[in-house]
Amino acid sequence: MSRSKELFEQAQRYIPGGVNSPVRAWKSVGMTPLFIEKGEGSKIYDVDGNAYIDYVGSWGPLILGHSHPRVVKALKKTLKKGTSFGAPTALELELARLLMDAIPSLEMVRMVNSGTEATMSAIRLARAYTGRDKVIKFDGCYHGHGDLLLVKGGSGLATLGIPGSPGVPGDLVKHTLSLPYNNIKAVKEVIEREGRDIACIIVEPIAGNMGVVPPKEGFLEELRALTHKEGILLIFDEVITGFRISYGGAQKFYDVKPDLTCLGKIIGGGLPVGAYGGRSEIMRHIAPQGNVYQAGTLSGNPLAMAAGIETLKILSKNGTYETLEKRSQFLWNELKNIVKKTNIPAYVAHVGSMGTLFFINGEVTDFNTAKACDTHMFSKYFREMLKQGIYWPPSQFEASFISLAHSEEDLENTVKAAHEAFKVL
Ligand code: HOZ
């Protein structure tokens, strides 16, 4: 038995499902997970000594690849001074400034520890600011595991086929309205009916948790116009897209300015982090400046700040995103060529360095089309890729991430592997 299997057997006795986050259990691909020993650049190494080219990248944060020497150096330097103080540090200010310089809609920002915390807090703030209770979200978008946002969520909920979650009181989710992604007509109808009760619309500007689903042309712009007109706050959940799609996130890429933005992943350089920010007129309501309460012992943790600062400094250099785009385009185009040459129904969706190979005949534009994919075929593809040393996300409903550490050779090897995988599907 492999060491990974042994560890997984033991882990299941102590940790629910053997994992600390559901998708990691590889349930939907009919396998047991690899336990990872280390990561270096584009590769991860399991406890049995096997190497894999990694397209999970810790689910998005590792845009520079694993253990980037400059990030490791910054962490070592910070570590020597202590790990947490529960008191302000200059590092928090430095990261806040970097975020604001990059993202035009951020006038103030509050650091938290995860994307879940960021979205929960942003929604509390939106409700307090508007004095309204209702929240619009979109089917298949995933905004962390806060009670009111689990309704028709993507990511692990989609992977495991769970529509919501027991333990979430019906009374609580009666304020959540979940609508089809990319369907502006549905949004207009709801706003016409109950616009005055709606505090905010929260949206992934590029959906990344039902697989990658880009916004249709005009979708984000129309959301902005409608919300503006009705005094509803627009919240962009850029936990995945922030610093992934461009240095200023998806909002800079599409040139749409939300009222509030949620961040995470890349801004912590691989350490636990989250942040939410936006117009200072709104942000000023957060305690202790205002009375909307939100707090956290490890918020603004110096190690997370240091890793985030170093990551952003590297990303801000000229040409970084052009390089990433060029490499990403190569992989997506080659995958499209493979798809074209077979009669297996498949579709490659991508924006920049995030993408998904959907097993479906036709385009994926929302949760219903995503759910219509052949997940059995996806599992086969996943297993075939793994056999050839490619670590693809273990779910049809997650994004694959390309990093700056992926070399041309890595990408060419991945294309070869995909070519072989398609032969046996
Ligand atoms: N919800 C994450 C992906 N969208 C998965 C987190 C994890 O398992 O680490």
User: Which CATH number covers residue 406?
Assistant: 3.90.1150.10
CA pair distance 375, 411, nearest whole angstrom:
24
Last residue of a domain, one of 272, 300, 315: 315
Residue 71: CB atoms within 10 A of its CB come to 24
Q: Tell me what pLDDT residue 138 has.
A: 96
CA of 61 to the centre of ligand 1 (A): 11
Q: Residue whose CA is closest, atom 8 of ligand 1?
A: 21
Q: Residue whose CA is closest, atom 4 of ligand 1?
A: 155
If asked whether residues 51 and 76 sit together in one domain, one would say no
CA of 22 to the centre of ligand 1 (A): 8
Q: Tell me what pLDDT residue 150 has.
A: 84
| Atom of ligand 1 at shortest range from CA of 154 | 4
Q: Residue whose CA is closest, atom 9 of ligand 1?
A: 21
Does 45 qualify as catalytic in the annotation? no
If asked whether residues 173 and 290 sit together in one domain, one would say yes
- Compute the radius of gyration of the chain from its Cα atoms: 21
Does 185 qualify as catalytic in the annotation? no
If asked whether residues 144 and 217 sit together in one domain, one would say yes
Count of domains in the chain?
A: 2
If asked whether residues 275 and 399 sit together in one domain, one would say no
If asked whether residues 128 and 206 sit together in one domain, one would say yes
CA pair distance 233, 282, nearest whole angstrom:
10
Residue 23, ligand 1, Cβ within 6 A: yes
The SS3 of residue 138 is strand
If asked whether residues 306 and 260 sit together in one domain, one would say yes
Residue with tokens 């936006």: 278
- pTM of the complete model: 0.97
Residue 24, ligand 1, Cβ within 6 A: yes
Residues in the chain: 425
| 155-179: pLDDT as tens digits | 777 676 666 677 888 888 889 999 9
Q: Tell me what pLDDT residue 402 has.
A: 98
If asked whether residues 87 and 17 sit together in one domain, one would say no
Residue 114, ligand 1, Cβ within 6 A: no
Residue 59, ligand 1, Cβ within 6 A: yes
| Atom of ligand 1 at shortest range from CA of 23 | 8
The catalytically annotated residue of 46, 237, 259, 374 is 237
If asked whether residues 211 and 231 sit together in one domain, one would say yes
Q: Residue whose CA is closest, atom 1 of ligand 1?
A: 155
Q: At what angle do helices 320-341 and 408-424 cross, to 10 degrees?
A: 20
CA pair distance 122, 369, nearest whole angstrom:
29
Q: Tell me what pLDDT residue 170 has.
A: 80
If asked whether residues 130 and 19 sit together in one domain, one would say no
Query: Any idea what the CATH number is for the domain that residue 188 is in?
Result: 3.40.640.10
Does 52 qualify as catalytic in the annotation? no
Domain span including residue 44:
3-67+318-424
Residue 402: CB atoms within 10 A of its CB come to 27
| 71-107: pLDDT as tens digits | 999 999 999 999 999 999 999 999 999 999 999 999 9
Residue 20, ligand 1, Cβ within 6 A: no
If asked whether residues 13 and 108 sit together in one domain, one would say no
Q: Which uninterrupted H or E stretch holds 349? A: strand 347-351
Q: Which residues of the chain have pLDDT under 70?
A: 158, 160-164
If asked whether residues 170 and 266 sit together in one domain, one would say yes
What residues have CB less than 8 Å from 365, skipping those under 6 apart?
A: 181, 182, 213, 216
Cβ–Cβ < 8 Å for 211, 217: no
Last residue of a domain, one of 315, 336, 365: 315
263: DSSP letter: E
The catalytically annotated residue of 27, 137, 265, 371 is 265
Q: Tell me what pLDDT residue 171 has.
A: 83
